Amino acid sequence: MASDERPPLNPRDLADLDFQLSDEERMIRDTVRAFVADRVTPNAAEWFEQGTLPRELAPELGKLGLLGMHLRGYGCAGASATAYGLACMELEAGDSGVRSLVSVQGSLAMYAIWRWGSEEQKREWLPRMASGEALGCFGLTEPDSGSDPGSMRTHARRVGGDWVLRGQKMWITNGSIADVAVVWARTDEGIRGFLVPRGTPGFTTQDIKGKLSLRASVTSELLLDDVRLPGDALLPGATSLRGPLSCLNEARFGIVWGVVGAARACFEAALDYSREREQFGKPIASFQLVQERLAEMAVEVNRAGLLALQLGRLKDAGRLHHQQVSLGKLANTNAALAVARSARQVLGANGIILEYPVIRHMANLETVVTYEGTADIHRLVLGEALTGVSAFR
């Protein structure tokens, strides 16, 4: 029998994800949610329209402890993977650009240094990056080398005790605002990572203009024109493509969660709108076709949230495989895109203006479905996991 002890059904959390979270996880989630409601949501449309993300947001995120939050030591909070995921979810409910800043800083740049760097490199960079005083970026993708990073042309050669880097990196989040770039380059010893501080002679950046997606985020090209670096700029631990791929796997995990936030924001915007908007003398929420949309959106948001949580628990238990992250990224970004597109139609003409968050999320998700491994590449990863046959390597 049903008992009165059950908490009331929450239409915004139908699957009761909350029940699966610890008090601490809920407090972290609620704190990030409050921060986003205060600092991100009211400004996101303006940032998107102007194509900027204020630099001063980084120290605010650092003060909360969100930068490199899942790393241990060196000023990092040492939170669980699930807590990191929850933070990503709330940040991306604000805007994918803000979540991208946190992902790139924590999971790509900081993680690369934390996992593959020397003790000196960690001490020099990680505390400043955790506080948001210093920003990092991650240079792997090139104009002609995207899904196939092994084909990169950027190379580094030894000159005495130094290294000389030459090449070009493309689609680099935070590129022009970063204080340090983690740059991956081909060497005689395989693919190696280098820390390139801003202002190093020969190292310049150029922002990519004309983006219609992820506009509240800086995306740049890195130009390395015979950049001479001391020997200790090399990340000693990474000696192959496994180095950068390990970082991407961390960031993808955050995306699995982040897109649930974007989807939830779209769903909630559609739910609220449908109850207020009246046509034919009644709220459009009372029409069956709108209810069908809302029900389908709720299914996708809840299912995506449950999958993200399952992957979080697996990661915290130390048993997460990268193929499972591919499963999550593929499933959840596609789900989020479907929710955003459906929500946009519920909002009618209001669905195409920045006054409502839906079109912004929908446009952002077109980036998210492509970066950090395209949906198609993740399909092929799963194809290989299922059949034992790689279709692309």
171: left (phi over 0), alpha (psi -120 to 50) or beta: left
CA atoms within 13 A on the CB side of 336: 38
CA-CA-CA-CA dihedral for 141, 144, 150, 155, to nearest 10 = -80
Q: Decide: is 272 part of the binding site for other proteins (CB under 8 A).
A: no
Backbone φ, ψ for residue 73 (5° rounding): 80, 180
Residues paired with 72 in a beta bridge? 77
Distance CA 164, CA 188 (A): 13
* By CB under 8 A, residue 37 contacts other proteins: no
| Active-site annotation, residues | 372
Minimum distance from CB of 23 to other proteins (Å)? 6
Nearest-angstrom CA–CA distance, 25 and 36: 16
According to CB under 8 A, which one of 16, 20, 31, 43 is a site residue for other proteins?
A: 31
Asked whether position 55 contacts other proteins by CB under 8 A, the answer is no
Q: Which of 2, 3, 19, 23 binds other proteins (CB under 8 A)?
A: 23
Answer for the pair 252, 190: CB distance below 8 angstroms, yes or no. Answer: no
Would you count residue 391 as binding other proteins (CB under 8 A)? no
Q: In the complex, what is the shortest distance from the CB of residue 78 to other proteins, in angstroms, rounded to a whole number?
A: 7
Does 35 help bind other proteins (rule: CB under 8 A)?
A: yes
Residues in contact with other proteins, shown as a per-residue x/- string from 218 to 257 under the rule CB under 8 A: ----------------------------------------
Q: Which two tokens stand for residue 107?
A: 């999971």
Least distance in angstroms from the C-beta of 80 to other proteins: 9
In the complex with other proteins, which residue's Cβ is closer, 24 or 225? 24
Residue 111 near other proteins by CB under 8 A: no
Residues 74-93: x/- map of binding to other proteins (CB under 8 A)?
Answer: ---xxx---x----------
The DSSP secondary-structure symbol of 142 reads B
